[in-house]
A and B are shown apart, each in its own frame.
Chain A
Amino acid sequence: MAFIFDAGFLCGTSPLGGPPLRFGSLQEISVELDVELVRNRGNMQFGSVPTINNMAMKFIAKTAQISGLALHQLYFGSTPTAGSQGLVRDLVATVPASGPYTLTPAVPNSGTWAQDMGVQYSVSGIFLVPVSSAPAQGQYTVVAGVYTFNAADHGAALTLNFLFTQATGISINQTNPWKGLAPQWQAVLVGQYNGQQIVWNLARCASENLKMLLPLNNFSIPQFQFQAYGDASSAQGSLGQFSYPN
């Protein structure tokens, strides 16, 4: 007999390679074993000889830390590349008092400006309108990170948002592949208390659901759902190894 205290340890290993991916800051895991019973009733009211038709072993993990590597290897079977996008958010800038009426906001992390995410007047919150050339008052053009405004907007306080690229981080250009096999990965779930552990080593899992809420004034706790399947070790396959202290 054993007790389990706390959310335990969960690690996923993708056959694509790379490190075993520990689910960081695990908040909770639920395990659900669904058994679909067939009731062979015959002529009897309650039936007899229950048989199993289908079984499913489902896991839902809530984890506070988000790993892009885990997300993409375990859900999409994708391999990341170096480099990432970032957002410069709510950058306050002022249109020069005299020409040229341009702004070239600094890009952090030695990055490169990538895409405009909008310009607003800081005082009123009204959005300026992007145009391809010759901006009138309330309009602007932006080319390669250089914002150009009309002379009538000189001295205006603005709030800018834009995307940029940087060498740090990882990114995945997610493709839209043909229908087919889901990415499969090994999951190891460990619960413990007082020196005793249960270890569920699941040979082949597939991810089936991800919920991520970004709440106001609180941390996001993504919910990650996966299911265990039999591996290719035999005709029947093996679900995995389940270890207990006694």
Chain B
Amino acid sequence: MAQPDRETVYAALQTLLVAALGPSPGSATFQTIQRRLLTITNAVPASAPYLLQVQATERSETKKGVPTVHTFTVNLLAYAYFGDGDAVVPDIVLNGLVTAIENACGPNMATAFQQLGIPVSSVVINGIISYFDMAATSGTWSLARVPVEIVATY
């Protein structure tokens, strides 16, 4: 199997997320999953929770005479809406969303690696997962940023 190019890698990650976590045919953990960044001010409560896949960095490591190894870093941003009430603890909801992302990006049980079916070498959550609360005119939103690292060659 030939090595996938950059866009194929990103598109495959999106396909995985939609299949596992999207409204259809997934578990509907997220109402909206997209690759376009959305600011909180433009987020619509009826479309929440959101899962946004945003490219962050690419590190290319090349040794002379050897093909390049690419490390793509993608931020997965989870937005959850809480309105103006305090009946729900935002962290509890975000914990569920982040755990769902972890499970979706988790390894294939047969190979012990997540390779997006393309395959890439590996997909792992690697780094610090950050949490934020933000106020908008629509109400209170809570955010989680999950850094995902994809190692691939092409």
Whether a CB of chain B sits under 8 angstroms from the CB of A242 is no
Give the size of the chain A interface in residues (CB under 8 angstroms): 10
Whether a CB of chain A sits under 8 angstroms from the CB of B87 is no
Interface of A toward B, CB cutoff 8 Å: 3, 5-6, 24-25, 64-65, 193-195
Complex Cα spacing A213 to B3, Å: 35
Min C-beta distance of B51 to chain A, whole Å? 28
Is A5's CB under 8 angstroms from B113's CB?
no
Find chain A residues with CB under 8 A from B67 CB.
3, 5, 193-194
Whether a CB of chain A sits under 8 angstroms from the CB of B88 is no
A5-B67, A5-B121, A6-B121 are known contacts. Are A194 and B153 too (CB-CB below 8 A)?
Answer: yes
Is B112's CB under 8 angstroms from A5's CB?
no
SS class, residues of chain A in contact with chain B: loop
Is B112's CB under 8 angstroms from A195's CB?
no
Closest to B3 in A: A194
Give the size of the chain B interface in residues (CB under 8 angstroms): 11
Find chain B residues with CB under 8 A from A25 CB.
112-113
Is A64's CB under 8 angstroms from B2's CB?
no
Interface of B toward A, CB cutoff 8 Å: 1-3, 66-67, 69, 112-113, 121, 153-154
Is A195's CB under 8 angstroms from B66's CB?
no
A6-B121, A65-B112 are known contacts. Are A193 and B153 too (CB-CB below 8 A)?
Answer: yes
Find chain A residues with CB under 8 A from B69 CB.
5
Complex Cα spacing A65 to B1, Å: 25
Complex Cα spacing A212 to B121, Å: 25
A64-B112, A65-B112 are known contacts. Are A5 and B153 too (CB-CB below 8 A)?
Answer: yes
Complex Cα spacing A5 to B3, Å: 11
